[in-house]
Amino acid sequence: MTYRDLGICRYISATPSQRFPVYTRGNAGEVYPEVFYPLSYSLAGPQGEHAMRNAVARSGLVSADEMVEAAPPGDDSEVSVALGVFCGYSYLNLSLNRVVALRVPGGSLDELDRGLLGNSDIVPPHVAHPDDTDRKASARALGFIYRTITTKDVEHLEADKREVELFITERGDPAEATDASLYETLTAYSDFGIHLFESHLFTSMQASTAVTTLGRLCSDALDDPDLAMQLLAGIGEVESAAPAASLFTLGKLAAATPGVDAAFDVGLPGLEERLQTLPEASEFLTEFEVFLDEFGSRGPNEWEVACDTWGTNHTLPLALIDRMRGAADDHDPVAQRQRLAAERVATVADTREKIGFGRRKLFDRVLGSATMFSQARERSKTTVVRYIQVTRLAAIELGQRVAARGAAAGGTTEADDIWYVVGDELEAFIDDPLPFAPVIAERRAARDELAKRIPPFTFFGEIPSPSTWPLRSEHQAETVEVGDELSGVSGCPGKAVGTARVVLDPSDPGDLGPGDVLIAPLTDPSWTPLFVPAEAVVVDVGAQMSHAVIVSRELGIPCVVSVTDATLRIPDGATVEVDGSTGVVTVISLP
């Protein structure tokens, strides 16, 4: 755990690699959009680095030894070669991923940048190194590709899921646990969590490999690289899409129950309490509890232990249900999935006919692999976030207990103070929180200051001082005019015209409803239920393997990602046309 002087404050900042010097918020910013909390980083940050190294080494593309690097003289911290938290923000090592791409036969940097970042024009060029290419690693890459496309099942992911469910059952209700048991739950995060995260990362690599191979096959055989995305629409069993279907059902149940519908109309503040006083709300509340039991671990920034999920703050899912009440019936996720599945069957049959007998067996194998691993990637992520929820609930309970003790001792300890201590301090903090007040105040102020600023999307070598970062409150983008076309990356094919609704927080979706186009800043899965009432989706960031792209294909919603500053450039109330096939958003009229 390394705290550094960042110019405007002292906060978490890792040591960057000199061998792999380019880092990016691309992908990492979708998973961890906010500033890390000290406790979360101490429990998961270094472990995430090791999990990423292990996953890359398992592929054979980069050896474990190549990812071990000595820190500069006088720096006793570990160099973050694969993942890193710099000035509080999460970054992915782009150089390392580019070396992986260069070692895959037929791979290219442009293909990697587009697939990972969405827009390869906004990142610095690759800095060549003599060790970038490696014949033995390239040979191992062929073996990795072959093993990926010939894998027949992912039973190990089901085993992980069963183990997590057993862990949840064994831990029980945090309110009934001892302090020692809660502490053990938190510290166990670094042991079991690293295995789950490594499994998710390796599965993601396999998914990317299979989808890329499918795209190359479609391009080589049919000169249609975009066909791969159509072939993966409506594949089913995508766990990140499941909450949207349940929320849609709850929204329609709320709308069909007059008292419940009226309670929603009053507004979100105090909604759950009002519903609990209504006898006719019993069915809705029962189904809502079933939903929370299954999906309570999901939510904005769900990888961050310190952030609320649908299970810890019920207002978050209730806000989504509120928007579902008015969703058009033809946006029913179940019906959409059935339609897409039927279209997919026809598309696959047509493609098999066109691709020719000689390549048909290979096509079937690659398509099966891309389908299985696309599903598996979302399944492994669901397993990780369910495990994180156990840790989150333990920390919340422990934080409340410590705050009560601090208040009883005459202090001003808050329940969320626990997020500002680190693992090595946790035992002492639990025993006596009062001595930690000054350092907690310092870290809280530092995090607040960093959260006000926009970190660089990429950096080379050393991250610039946060004092040079633009303030979010002052960030502006070029305004659009009628007829302007904003280019992005195709997420899900289809075309729609609607009223732009700029939503910056999924818990406050405003008036988003039928006929509207959702304009969102990022592609965290917690946003995807808002795809359902919308006609189309436009996202500031993302790439073809983003969670939102995968889910949009399951829901049949035209989607364009990586439209830089869309939430700033497109005014709320504008009429826009979204072409999910070309990745172009056209401004039809302004409010």
Question: Token match 């992911």: residue?
Answer: 157
Return d(Cα 192, Cα 29) in angstroms, integer: 24
Same domain, 183 and 258: yes
**409 part of a folded domain:** no
Other residues' Cβ atoms within 10 Å of the Cβ of residue 333: 25
Cα-based distances in Å from 160 to 7, 154, 295: 43, 10, 17
Alpha helix segments (H runs only) across 178-281: 179-222, 227-231, 242-256, 258-266, 271-276
**326 part of a folded domain:** yes
**247 part of a folded domain:** yes
* Angle separating helix axes 547-555 and 333-355, nearest 10 degrees: 100
What is the C-alpha R_g of the chain? Answer: 24
Other residues' Cβ atoms within 10 Å of the Cβ of residue 543: 22
Question: Token match 């080589």: residue?
Answer: 220
DSSP classification of residue 416: G
Return d(Cα 158, Cα 388) in angstroms, integer: 17
* Burial bucket for residue 539 (CB in 10 Å: 0-12, 13-18, 19+): buried
Which pLDDT score is estimated for 263? 97
Pick out the chain residues at pLDDT < 70: 1, 119-122, 189-191
Q: What is the pLDDT of residues 421-450, one digit of tens each?
A: 999 999 999 999 999 999 999 999 999 999
Same domain, 112 and 260: no
Q: Are 237 and 195 in contact (CB under 8 A)?
A: no
Same domain, 355 and 266: yes
Same domain, 182 and 297: yes
**318 part of a folded domain:** yes
Return d(Cα 230, Cα 109) in angstroms, integer: 24
Q: Whose CA is closest to 181, among 390, 384, 386?
A: 390
Same domain, 494 and 572: yes
Last residue of a domain, one of 470, 498, 519: 470
CATH number reported for the structural domain that contains residue 544 in this entry: 3.50.30.10
Question: Residues for the chain: how many in total?
Answer: 591
What is the total count of domains within the chain? 3
Same domain, 235 and 95: no
Last residue of a domain, one of 441, 470, 499: 470
DSSP string, 431-443: H--GGGHHHHHHH
User: CA 420, 425, 431 angle in degrees (round to 5)?
Assistant: 100
DSSP classification of residue 530: G
Which pLDDT score is estimated for 119? 64
Q: Whose CA is closest to 581, among 487, 514, 479?
A: 487
Last residue of a domain, one of 351, 376, 396: 396
Return d(Cα 228, Cα 233) in angstroms, integer: 9
Which pLDDT score is estimated for 120? 55
**43 part of a folded domain:** yes
**161 part of a folded domain:** yes
Same domain, 131 and 176: no
- Token pair for 31: 């998973």
Same domain, 44 and 64: yes
- Token pair for 338: 């059935």
Cα-based distances in Å from 358 to 218, 361, 362, 363, 364: 14, 7, 8, 10, 12
Which pLDDT score is estimated for 268? 94
DSSP classification of residue 36: P
Same domain, 48 and 191: no
Return d(Cα 252, Cα 326) in angstroms, integer: 8
Domain with 1, as residue range(s), is 1-150+433-470
Return d(Cα 302, Cα 391) in angstroms, integer: 12
Same domain, 345 and 323: yes
**381 part of a folded domain:** yes
Q: What is the pTM of this model?
A: 0.92
Which pLDDT score is estimated for 121? 61
**91 part of a folded domain:** yes
Same domain, 48 and 162: no
Q: What is the pLDDT of residues 101-132, one digit of tens each?
A: 999 988 888 878 877 777 656 677 888 899 99
Same domain, 102 and 215: no
